[in-house]
């Protein structure tokens, strides 16, 4: 890693992270269809297909946010870095939204089942998982 005395790399990372975070909020709460939300965690192919459809629109929303960021600021991003970052975001999003892997992680960490099921715990863990991986995705996108 090389020194960046002007803070340019940090500013690019911050702008990319904000764009991905905004895209996440829009894609998860506005773009996702009710059918995708209801079915993406179901077992078998119906659940896999619903989750893949959601992740596709989620990733396209993130890409669109980056396009707007680039158009609005003149920022230049490496296409390979963006590809890797959006892939990390998409794969991690799919894993969490299939529900079982996230629930297994919560159980392994000893999270209270009542909080998970009735206290908003699964939603909180889902969103924090996504935001954590958005941070990693933004690091790659901003390379």
What are the pLDDT digits (tens) for 81-112? 999 999 999 999 999 999 888 889 988 989 88
> What pLDDT, in 10s, does the model give residues 21-71?
999 999 999 999 999 999 999 999 999 999 999 999 999 999 999 999 999
Q: How many whole angstroms separate alpha carbon 61 and alpha carbon 89?
A: 12
> Does residue 73 belong to any structural domain of this protein?
yes
Residues 65, 136, 106: CA angle, nearest 5 degrees: 110
Angle between helices 79-97 and 44-73 (to 10 degrees): 150
Domain contains 62: yes
Instruction: Judge whether 23 lies within some domain.
Output: yes
The per-residue pLDDT for 115 is 86
Number of separate domains in the chain: 1
pLDDT at residue 3 in the model? 65
For residue 2, is it within any domain?
Answer: no
| Residue 83 belongs to domain spanning | 8-141
Is residue 3 in some structural domain?
no
Give a yes or no: residue 99 inside a domain: yes
CA 2 to chain centre: 28
Does any domain span residue 126?
A: yes
Residue 26 lies in a domain: yes
């Amino acid at each position: 890693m090389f020194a960046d005395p002007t803070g340019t790399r940090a500013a690019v990372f911050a702008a990319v992270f904000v764009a991905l975070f905004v895209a996440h909020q829009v894609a998860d709460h506005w773009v996702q269809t009710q059918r995708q939300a209801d079915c993406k965690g179901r077992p078998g192919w119906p659940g896999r297909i619903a989750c893949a459809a959601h992740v596709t629109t989620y990733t396209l929303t993130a890409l669109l946010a980056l396009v707007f960021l680039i158009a609005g600021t003149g920022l230049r991003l490496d296409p390979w870095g963006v590809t890797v970052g959006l892939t990390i975001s998409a794969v991690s999003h799919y894993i969490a939204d299939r529900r079982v892997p996230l629930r297994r992680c919560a159980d392994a960490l000893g999270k209270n089942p009542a909080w998970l099921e009735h206290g908003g715990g699964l939603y909180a863990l889902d969103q924090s998982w996504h935001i954590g991986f958005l941070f990693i995705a933004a690091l790659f996108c901003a390379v």
